[in-house]
Chain A
């Protein structure tokens, strides 16, 4: 099972919106609603930001939103802030191996 495909890096200025894509297949992203997104700051454990494609856990800013179209899921961060600079990973349930991560995206706030 190959990792889901994410762009290696995305950048934006404070206040802007950015979108990170996560492309899989009909056996993972396209076939199930179980897509989640994780934020990881250097030296820290990952943190759940979005689950079930578009749901935010309690305590996560509403500046983070998720969506899916076909085999591609997306995470949008609006009103970009310095604290959003981190690595972001998608994860999807897969018929093959239970769950798979994306390749990861480094978000830089310019």
Chain B
């Protein structure tokens, strides 16, 4: 069974750094794109960026380029999303998703709630 398990909820202050994780199991982690999705409170889904673990090919959506860093560690089948300096506007639920061999994203993590507040 394919599973994506994300790290737990975080409460941070503005200016702090943060790295959240998404651990894949039940499949060949390196062989499928992982995407990160932001959902701000009461709002829609936004693709933030994508990584192909086999070669770390990374793509960022324009709104998130330079704002976050996406990485992956094949040895532990885990993808990461990190911020160097959080803002209150980063408060959101963050999901990771795995691409299928077609154009769909068929497996999703349970989400990580990030709250940034002074």
Chain A binder among B23-31, B72-80, B107-115? B107-115
Instruction: Give how many A-B residue pairs fall within 8 Å (CB-CB).
Output: 75
Do A52 and B104 touch (CB < 8 A)? yes
CA gap between A32 and B46 in the complex, in Å: 20
**Given A1-B62, A45-B95, CB of A55 within 8 Å of CB of B102:** yes
Range class of the B interface residue count: 20 to 34
Tell me how far the C-beta of A43 lies from the nearest C-beta in chain B, rounded to whole angstroms. Answer: 9
Q: In the complex, which residues of chain A have a beta carbon less than 8 angstroms from the beta carbon of B103?
A: 32-36, 51-52, 93
Do A46 and B108 touch (CB < 8 A)? yes
Range class of the A interface residue count: 20 to 34
- Which of A34, A93, A99, A104 is packed against the most chain B CB atoms within 10 Å? A99
Q: Which residue of A lies closest to B64 (CB)?
A: A97
CA gap between A59 and B86 in the complex, in Å: 39
Do B50 and A57 touch (CB < 8 A)? no
Where the two chains meet, the residues of A that have a C-beta atom closer than 8 Å to any C-beta of B are 1, 3, 32-36, 38, 40, 45-48, 50-52, 55, 57, 87, 89, 91, 93, 96-104
Where the two chains meet, the residues of B that have a C-beta atom closer than 8 Å to any C-beta of A are 35, 37, 44-47, 50, 59-62, 95, 97, 100, 102-106, 108-111
